[in-house]
Structure 1
């Protein structure tokens, strides 16, 4: 009876050790995969959210300025056409 208990105790110790080893291997594999993913993603030319928002704001400002300049040009062309009898003197649109 004592031999059976010792056998089961030894078996339980081996299984506990094996479970710990397998869990450690899993954590190590996960850490390795995360490291590889970070290296791969880090090698790509991604920008931060803050940099993206700054570039987006600059694009919106440039679009607004272009629209304002277009409206100003249209007004100047209309004024020029009105004073020159409906023709544009050397102005092409």
Structure 2
């Protein structure tokens, strides 16, 4: 009979420990949520961008730079072509404007 009383006490202590662990886990999750929301608010106040936004802007800048180089090369080629055709037109005596 005495062992039944001990078993009930141990069972109750086990339930109490399980309940306490559950409460502690809930409190920890609540604290983590509060800290996370506070950190997000602080970061928003600093006007920082998220990593995904930064990476997207970086990719756009890289593409724009590549396009700028490509267009600069195209303009240089067109200018060179224009210079060569303008130079040959000046020396061309068959041109009625001359």
Q: TM-score, normalised by structure 2?
A: 0.52
Instruction: Work out which of the two has the higher radius of gyration on C-alpha atoms and give 1 or 2.
Output: 2
Q: Secondary structure at the match of 1:28?
A: helix
Q: Residue 59 of structure 1 corresponds to which residue in structure 2?
A: 65
Structure 1 position 44 matched with structure 2 position 58 = no
- Gaps of at least 5 residues in structure 2 are 87-98
Segments of 5+ residues of structure 1 without an aligned counterpart are 81-93
**How far does the alpha carbon of each residue in 1:38-90 deviate from its partner, in whole angstroms, 9 at most, with x for none?**
3344430342544443333222212222233345556777899xxxxxxxxxx
The count of corresponding residues between Structure 1 and Structure 2 is 84
TM-score by length of 1: 0.54
Q: CA RMSD in A?
A: 3.5
| Cα distance change of structure 1 residues 49 and 68 upon mapping to structure 2, 3 Å threshold | same
Which protein, 1 or 2, shows the higher relative CO under an 8 Å CA cutoff with sep ≥ 6? 1
